[in-house]
């Protein structure tokens, strides 16, 4: 699969996004929240730095959600039985998404506060 043309690699990446969209309710929820964050940022017009921070935090949450899904797909395929170490790996990946989501909320709250204090 190495050294494929860019267009083909782009197709693989878009297919991955479609798969996670179809299979993961949490990804769809996070995408909806990303739209809310984008609309709020556009409405508040906080400045380029705040907009960049919101965009980065949204991207981080969505990419971690996709990595979490990828980890779960591989683990479930390789070891479908319940095992403590497998549960720990899945929980750790889910925890990463939770931490990024919490950080994203803090950044959004700080942005709103900075706009309110102008």
- The residues that are catalytic are 65
Among residues 99, 90, 105, 103, the alpha carbon closest in space to that of 33 is found at: 105
45: left (phi over 0), alpha (psi -120 to 50) or beta: left
Give the separation between CA 12 and CA 18, rounded to whole angstroms.
10
Name the token pair of 96: 């990463």
Give the separation between CA 75 and CA 83, rounded to whole angstroms.
11
């Amino acid at each position: 699969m190495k050294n494929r043309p860019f267009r083909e690699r782009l197709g693989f990446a878009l297919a991955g996004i479609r798969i996670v969209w179809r299979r993961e309710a949490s990804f769809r929820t996070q995408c909806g929240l990303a739209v809310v964050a984008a609309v709020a940022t556009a409405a508040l017009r906080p400045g380029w730095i705040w907009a960049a921070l919101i965009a980065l935090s949204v991207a981080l949450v969505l990419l971690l959600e996709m990595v979490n899904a990828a980890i779960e797909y591989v683990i479930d395929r390789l070891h479908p039985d319940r095992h403590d170490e497998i549960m720990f790996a899945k929980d750790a990946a889910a925890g990463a998404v939770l931490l990024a989501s919490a950080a994203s909320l803090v950044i959004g709250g700080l942005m709103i506060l900075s706009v309110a204090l102008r």
